[in-house]
Structure 1
Amino acid sequence: MTEAFEQELREQLDLAHQALSDAQAASDHEGVAAYEGRVSALLAIADLNGIDVAG
């Protein structure tokens, strides 16, 4: 995997985590569900590509 792909994936994951946090703070249940799905999908992509995003 290219370094650019890994960096973009990490940035997208950071954005999704922030959006999830914002949705939780706003009690936006639909937003929470959507961003939980986004985070889950990005984590699956990372796993499939051998990218360690823990920590």
Structure 2
Amino acid sequence: MQWSHFDIDNKTITIESTRDIIGSRSPKTKSSYRTIFIDDLLVRKYIEIDRGDS
């Protein structure tokens, strides 16, 4: 996962890749591409880490 996958304004994370023992690559199926809603706690943690507060 990359920081660019986080959308803080819409409180979502977009899954666009997979990682395994081979490395990082595109998902095998279309259903593996998805957007997940995140809660306020995770948004606050993201902001803390992004600012270097953690």
TM-score, shorter chain, exceeding 0.5 = no
Q: What TM-score do you get using the length of structure 2 for normalisation? A: 0.26
Structure with the larger strand share: 2
Q: What TM-score do you get using the length of structure 1 for normalisation? A: 0.26
Give the number of the structure whose alpha-carbon radius of gyration is greater: 2
Q: Which structure would you say has the larger RCO, counting Cα contacts within 8 Å and 6 or more residues apart?
A: 1
